[in-house]
A and B are shown apart, each in its own frame.
Chain A
């Protein structure tokens, strides 16, 4: 990624002064960004790690007192933490699969047409630029509402006498949230796939067609394999995004009903900001960070191995 070749801009005939200026120039150019990076990313990360050893509180001044590993032990023994982690992973599964597969299918289909593409692209991508607050309002009060909602109305029209309470029934709530998320964010993956498709050279299609491959075979044996790298990218971005889910769940179910949809990030907000237990919430944050890191690394490892094998 870091292609350093050919970027050495200092020419040999530079004067000594130029060298000195040049030597400081690099760090100086990076300094403003580095400052933000250290203050708002590295510093807080270290703080999070350290704060986990104290019983800090939002409602008390200072760091709190040293509690050793007890926060760590408590989090690991905290059934609610594991439950929220389970919800987070389940949500990730429920959203990643359709968000990758459906986006892939729709992009492949859309790639066959030039006329009217703006419409297709608009329809799928428009929801993505809408703030989560609007999305939640539309679905919570409009589409998925009890009694008055569009989804229940349609089901009733289809003859279902008592359609479920989409966001109020613990058996349905997570599925509903996943559905909303698919609607909201598929445009992003769709666009990444469209970009990937555009990079497949035309002659590949032509060659395959020459070999007598029909449209379906061409998609299966040529297009999808050639989109491999895009799929890797889309999948890993999707997994990481889904693991960080908060907005739509917080707004539509607040983690309910019966806590059945509360994701880990909301647990951090609840324990850290509603209860004010910053020390404890720091440890939960750290664990969530590790989970995200681990899952992304495992994914990359698996993909790399698969690529080597093939």
Chain B
């Protein structure tokens, strides 16, 4: 209710004529209150609507198969069961996919954070020839969507034998121009004296970067970490092409490509959707503010 308190006072002060002074604040207050009520109603309605698909999938995933056969669209069950989840873990390759997604996302994130922050540090704090040119050249990279480059990238990885490896998934996703800008923008805001003092102490550039700049840059590091991790975790098209070995697949690719030979019971489909959603949902629920700030800070899709 952040903006409601000043409502009555403000309208009273702005009342057109003293004679109307009494009713005016009343009107303003009512309008404000009414607006807030409507706003709240609309918001909550949308929020609930937004939760429907997730809740529905979860509800279906714990219904026994015979109940689903009778009434597939029902939400309710008298005897919930985790059979679908057990089946998935018993028969499927889910554990592999979780592990692969985790490794690939972490590896990409670490490589991106390190290379991008080093480059940003160089661009922001070190003076050298063609710095501006290099910067503009990198800037242009923001315009190149990785998706239109998948053919040469695939052929190159095939040439060096990196298909079906983690590196094949990771390496092409490392050059993330936006990460460089997030870091550079941040580094540009670091007071010059801080770096000069370190340099005067005889610290080399690498040491300055590692001991002075990076500790300060935690918000940027976490922002980049979050958006790169989410992006890589959810990337579908690239691992779909690079990884064909079922045990090497990432979670989204495995969920989509590999089927259960026993046909696809409805509950199991929903259970696999839920299992695919859970890791990042859990992380998001835990670090909601952090993540939202990080995403808002980088604005990257």
Contacts and interface: CB of A to CB of B under 8 A. Distances in A.
Given A115-B1, A214-B28, A51 B152 contact: yes
Given A134-B274, A134-B276, A113 B43 contact: yes
Contact of B2 (A113, A186, A188): A113
B156 A44 contact: yes
Q: Which among B11, B199, B252 has the highest number of chain A CB atoms within 10 Å?
A: B252
Interface of chain B: mostly helix, strand, loop or mixed: helix
A109 B114 contact: no
A126 B72 contact: no
Interface of chain A: mostly helix, strand, loop or mixed: helix
B276 A41 contact: no
A130 B6 contact: no
Given A10-B127, A123-B48, A2 B3 contact: no
B39 A149 contact: no
B299 interface: yes
A194 to B, nearest CB: 7
Contact of A150 (B56, B124, B277, B299): B56
Interface string A193-227: 01100000000011001111011100000000000
B169 interface: no
A11 B199 contact: yes
Interface string B117-141: 0110111111111011011001001
Given A6-B192, A30-B118, A237-B301, A126 B284 contact: yes
Nearest to B198: A9
Contact of B53 (A110, A142, A191): A142
A308 interface: no
Contacts of A150: 52-53, 56, 73
B21 interface: no
Interface stretch (A79-87, A170-178, A243-251): A243-251
Nearest to A180: B53
B195 interface: yes
A159 interface: no
Contacts of A119: 47
Nearest to B296: A195
Interface in A97-141: 106, 109-115, 118-127, 129-139, 141
A11 B196 contact: yes
Contact of A121 (B274, B277, B288): B288
A45 B149 contact: yes
Given A32-B119, A125-B284, A285 B273 contact: no
Contacts of B14: 209-212
A240 B31 CA distance: 40
B234 A26 contact: no
A282 to B, nearest CB: 6
A44 B149 contact: yes
B224 interface: no
B116 A33 contact: yes
B114 A32 contact: yes
A127 B55 CA distance: 12
Contacts of A30: 118-119, 122-123, 134
Interface string A246-271: 11001100000000000001001100
Interface residues of B, number: 121
A9 B192 contact: yes
Contacts of B237: 246-247, 250, 265, 269
Contacts of A185: 301
Contacts of B188: 3, 7
A288 interface: yes
A130 B276 CA distance: 7
Measured as residues with beta carbon below 8 angstroms from the partner, the interface class of chain A is 35 or more
A294 B67 CA distance: 53
Contact of B192 (A7, A115, A244): A7
A148 B73 contact: yes
A233 interface: yes
Contacts of A160: none
A167 interface: no
Given A8-B127, A36-B115, A127-B50, A285 B270 contact: no
Contacts of B128: 22-23, 25-27
A112 B3 contact: yes
B205 A109 contact: no
Contact of A206 (B10, B36, B57): B10
B222 to A, nearest CB: 15
A148 B276 contact: no
B280 interface: yes
Nearest to B188: A3
B56 A109 contact: no
Interface string B33-72: 0011001101110111011111011001000000000001
Given A40-B172, A139-B53, 6 more contacts: A7-B124, A36-B171, A37-B177, A41-B141, A132-B236, A134-B255
19 contacts: A7-B124, A22-B127, A39-B171, A48-B152, A113-B40, A122-B284, A124-B50, A131-B236, A138-B53, A141-B270, A142-B60, A142-B273, A143-B56, A147-B72, A214-B28, A285-B148, A286-B148, A289-B145, A292-B145
